[in-house]
Amino acid sequence: MKKNKLLKKKSRDYSNDIKNQQIIESAKLYAKLYCSNQELKQLTESANVNWPN
């Protein structure tokens, strides 16, 4: 029974990782479309500093 709970928890965490990655990719696309290269660089650096590991 404990194994099933652990497996479910892992898959739930994995799906959150996928959602987070999709958010990151969407933000990158938005930035590429609507920001200058300098703004994109600043946003990327800011996101890297502020993004939790």
**Could you report the per-residue pLDDT of 9-28, keeping only the tens digit for each?**
555 566 677 788 888 888 88
At residue 30 the predicted structure's pLDDT band, cuts being 50, 70 and 90, is confident
Q: How much of the chain, in percent, has pLDDT values that exceed 90?
A: 0
Question: Token pair 């994109």 is at which residue?
Answer: 40
Contact 41, 21 (CB under 8 A): no
Q: Mean pLDDT for the chain?
A: 72
Of 50, 19, 23, the closest CA to residue 42 belongs to: 50
Spatial distance between the Cα atoms of 8 and 14, rounded to a whole number of angstroms? 10
- Ramachandran sector of residue 52 (left: φ over 0; alpha: ψ -120 to 50; beta: rest): beta
